[in-house]
Structures are given as C-alpha cells and as structure tokens.
Structure 1
Amino acid sequence: MGRIAQRTYHHGDLRRTIIDAALAATGEVGPTGWSLRELARRAGVSHAAPAHHFGDKTGLLTAVAAEGFALFADTLEAAAGEPAEVGLAYIRFAIDHRSHFEVMFRPELYRTDDEGMRPARERAAAALAASAGALSPDPERVRATTIAAWSFAHGFAELWLSGSLPESADGDPESLARSVIGVLFDRDGEADR
C-alpha cells in the first residue's frame, strides 16, 4: 500500500502525465505513430498505467480530443462577436495546440459518442455557428456560411501546419490569415467583383 501511495505521489497526477505524454508523442510522430507501451516508457510509468486509466489507446485519444474540444470551445467563445476574430482564434488554436488539433478532427481515432466530449464539441460548434450567422443575414444560408467559414479556417490551419504555404517557414500566420480573410469577406463587396 505504501508503494502505491509513493508511485501516485511521485507522478503527481498520473492521468495528466499520460495525457501530456500522448500530446508530446503526437507532436513528434502523429497520433497513430505510438503505442501505449511506448507511451508508458516515455512517461516513466508502468506499462499497465495507461490501460488502467484509459482502457486502450482509443480511450486515451478520446481524453485528448475531449480536452482539446474544451480548450477549443473556450478559445472560440473568447473571440465571439466578430467572425474574423473567431476565424483567427481557430487558426491560433490549431497552431498553439497542434497535437490536440491533430486528434480532434480525426474521429476515427476516438469515441465520438463519449459523454465527456459532447458538451465541448457542442460549445465549439455553437460558437462557430454564431459567428457565421453574423456573416449571413439569410437564415437559410447560415449552415452553408458556417461550413464555408469553417472550411476556410480549418484549411488555412492545415496548410500552415503542413508547411504547404511558403510563409509557414518563417511568416506570421495571423497576418497572412487576416489578409486572406480581408479578401474573402470584404465588407464593401470589392472581393465579389
């Protein structure tokens, strides 16, 4: 019994330690490039610890995605109001929380019906829909506008993270994204000409 207490004390929050190790491994080799056994070794815990806390790799990636969606929802809600700011917040989140982002939008990696994930996913979706609603006064076009705005922000983030944009090497993603948003959503209608 003393040994268990010592191990818990030594690692502090073992669940957090394992999630942090999963995020670090995902940052290095992607979400499919590591096993629970390798992760346990990386975290300095017994090989059974990740399975004990999460069941399996899918369970661990579900926890990573749930945490990511909660952080994402917080980020989007903080930027709520101005659609361009929500788009920029989306891109900043993807860059600042790359490992979460790489898992969150790969639903084949985790349990999408997990109760811990649903509230955060719904909050994030509501923040995106609210900002897109400000772009489209036509209620019948809100869904299409939401998808268009989401596609832009997500696509830009993916292009930036993959290094596909020449500016990715040493540029400023926010400045470039602001410039592109200005072209796409020119309030004077000049972008439509």
Structure 2
Amino acid sequence: MDGLRNQLLDAAARILDENGIEAVTIRETARQCGVSHGAPRRHFPSRAVLLGHLAKRVAAELTEEFDATDGDPRRLAKIYVEFAARRPHAFDLLLRHDLLEASGADLRSTTLPLVARWRDAWCAQNPADSDADALARLTAVHGIASLVSHRAHEVVGLEPEELLGRVLRSQNFSERM
C-alpha cells in the first residue's frame, strides 16, 4: 500500500511541476499511475488531502536543501529563491493555505521550523537585529522568490542576486527608518 501512496505522490509532483496546482487531481494522478480513479481514495480521500501531503513533501524537499548548507542565512536565502525559480508551482503550493487548510496535513508544522531556522540563523550572524528585523528580511527574500517564481523580475530587469544582496545587508532595519 505504501508503494502505491508513494507512486501517487510522485505522479502528483510531476503533474504539479509540469502543469501547476490546478492540474493536480485525484483522477489525473490515478491515470498517470495506471490505476483506477478510485484507487487513490484509500490514501487520499479528497483533492485537499492529496495536495496537503504533496505540500508536506515539497516542504521536506526544501528542508533537505537547507540541511545541505552550513546554515548561513545568505545561502538559505539563495536556496529559497533558486527553489522558487526551479519549481515555481511547488513554491506556490506551499503558500496556498486556502487549498491546504482542509487537508489535515498540518503544513505549518513543516514550514514554521523553516521560518524559525532563518530567524535564528540571521540573528546569530546579526546580533544587533531583532527577531522582527530577521522576519522582515525573510519577508523581503520571500518577495524576491515570488517575483522569480513568476519571472516578474525579468520584466523590470532585476537580477535576483542583486536584490538579495541589497535586502541582506547587515544594517539593522530600525536604524534606517
């Protein structure tokens, strides 16, 4: 049974990456696995549950990428933006709490540790900054990632690395206001 569950999640991830969130359905996931459209319902009784488990998988993949670094906040930011560029639909899924609330997957238990990890890494390297300063910088990094995921940065000719460099300067936010 776990083999089919993993097969279904693999298929859902491919559909997501190729065609976006709206294309991920139980029926299409089953079709791609060569099983009846009712077979996935044992593991994923609704589309929301399927998307919730898929989002947890995506968050775990991002966590693994973070784990492969030394925890430097600038590298974490770069990984985050690169992930958004490489897997824009997966990045978007992580933010679709409107779709995921009914999933029962408790996505926040996976994503909030990523936020805390960023905050702690930033504050360790920038002790003059508060937690709020670190979270404000993360918000700016997230904005850059969002622009990159939709290729909107190209319209105005901004390079993500340059934007990250400006956002991640080690000057306390409150001193600049």
TM range (shorter): 0.7 to 0.9
8 Å CA contact retained: 1:50, 1:56: no
CA 95–112 in structure 1, closer or farther in 2 if over 3 Å, else same:
farther
Written as runs of structure 1 = structure 2, the 5 A alignment for 1:72-83 is: 72-83=62-73
- 1:180 paired to 2:160: no
Deviations, residues 102-158 of structure 1 (Å, cap 9, x unaligned): 21111111247846645432431221111232364246x31x223322222222122
The structure with the largest alpha-carbon Rg is 1
TM-score normalised to structure 1 length: 0.73
SS at match of 1:47: coil
Equivalent-residue separation in structure 2 for 1:138 and 1:61 (angstroms): 40
Counterpart residue number, 2:114: 124
Q: Alpha-carbon deviation of 1:90?
A: 1.0
Q: Aligned-residue CA RMSD in angstroms?
A: 3.1
Match of 1:166 among 154, 162, 172: 154
Equivalent-residue separation in structure 2 for 1:131 and 1:167 (angstroms): 32
8 Å CA contact retained: 2:69, 2:76: yes
Q: Alpha-carbon deviation of 1:187?
A: 4.4
8 Å CA contact retained: 1:79, 1:86: yes
Q: Alpha-carbon deviation of 1:88?
A: 0.4
Structure 2 gap segments, 5+ residues each: none
TM-score normalised to structure 2 length: 0.78
Counterpart residue number, 1:14: 4
Counterpart residue number, 1:100: 90
Identity of aligned residues (%): 25
8 Å CA contact retained: 2:12, 2:29: yes
Counterpart residue number, 1:25: 15
With CA pairs under 8 Å and 6+ residues apart, which has the higher RCO, 1 or 2? 2
8 Å CA contact retained: 2:65, 2:79: yes
Equivalent-residue separation in structure 2 for 1:128 and 1:112 (angstroms): 27
SS at match of 2:43: helix
CA 80–133 in structure 1, closer or farther in 2 if over 3 Å, else same:
farther
8 Å CA contact retained: 1:21, 1:39: yes
The number of residue pairs the alignment matches comes to 173
Structure 1 gap segments, 5+ residues each: 1-7
CA 164–115 in structure 1, closer or farther in 2 if over 3 Å, else same:
closer
CA 162–98 in structure 1, closer or farther in 2 if over 3 Å, else same:
closer
Written as runs of structure 1 = structure 2, the 5 A alignment for 1:80-159 is: 80-111=70-101, 114=104, 117=107, 119-134=109-124, 136-138=126-128, 141-142=130-131, 144-159=132-147
8 Å CA contact retained: 2:15, 2:24: yes
Equivalent-residue separation in structure 2 for 1:115 and 1:80 (angstroms): 29
CA 80–122 in structure 1, closer or farther in 2 if over 3 Å, else same:
farther
